[in-house]
Amino acid sequence: MKSCGSMLELPGLRLPPAGFLLLLPFLLLLLPATPAPHRASYKPVIVVHGLFDSSYSFRHLLEYINETHPGTVVTVLDLFDGRESLRPLWEQVQGFREAVAPIMAKAPQGVHLICYSQGGLVCRALLSVMDEHNVDSFISLSSPQMGQYGDTDYLKWLFPTSMRSNLYRICYSPWGQEFSICNYWHDPHHDDLYLNASSFLALINGERDHPNATAWRKNFLRVGRLVLIGGPDDGVITPWQSSFFGFYDANETVLEMEEQLVYLRDSFGLKTLLARGAIVRCPMAGISHTAWHSNRTLYETCIEPWLS
């Protein structure tokens, strides 16, 4: 008979001593733990709504992001909802700035902005006035970036006795500029009035001289990527190419972004962004204005790829 400390033997098999078997569970505790599977960490997403909207409108978008990028912190800002969205845009910019600044401060790796319709102009102004913003992707979702010139239900409700041909009489007055819609009303037949009276769009476009123009341009160029989304069946943004910085000339012929003076002069940084490959254009047909943030195909094609 062999001693207790020797290996136990069975036909064709050698076993360790019984004492070692007793210690085995404790020895296993000393081994380094198997690392947990790596889980991607996504940048926080901030969503800014449009005219007459609220955070509830983005429930589908929130669902899509949570499904494809689990763990993403998504903040749909609940400011200037409903009729409050008619407040002057500079007032809204200040309110949204106070809301996004703490979110950015807690995200040193950067954030993504998804900004819908009128909200896209609010966000572009935010990128201009915030010296230390850390926006990676600015996703402009069917936003009238070069302005609006069309008879829509919104305008008919707000100004029932006016048509687009004479709305400039209201919008290019001090009283009219108290309404957000008038802040980006862009009448191609009254360009001089637009340049002189516009208290918002002409400024963020760099179309009118102001002391902050150089600083705003520098701030805007901090953005990592500009994603432009829109389409011919929108039904509200007029012309729909405004979502891509195209707009009418005096004959109502649409000139694309590269033909616009703001691009040719690089007045706020568009030409520079395009040169460094930081502008993505994602046109999509068959989507009406109120469906951009709930269309799953649009999300997967034009939004999800940029939410790193």
| Cα 67 to Cα 299: distance, rounded to the nearest angstrom | 12
Structure tokens that stand for 23 in this block: 């210690």
Active-site residue 60, yes or no?
A: no
Q: 117, 137, 180, 267: which is the annotated catalytic residue?
A: 117
The CA–CA distances, whole Å, from 200 to 35, 54, 95, 275, 284 equal 53, 23, 16, 26, 28
Active-site residue 266, yes or no?
A: no
Q: 180, 187, 198, 234: which is the annotated catalytic residue?
A: 234
Structure tokens that stand for 47 in this block: 């969503």
Active-site residue 289, yes or no?
A: yes
Q: What SS3 state is found at 254?
A: strand
- Residues contacting residue 193 through CB under 8 Å, at least 6 positions apart: 168, 172, 187
Burial of 78 (0-12, 13-18, 19+ CB in 10 A): exposed
| Cα 181 to Cα 154: distance, rounded to the nearest angstrom | 9
Q: 112, 133, 289, 293: which is the annotated catalytic residue?
A: 289
- Name the residues annotated as catalytic: 117, 234, 289
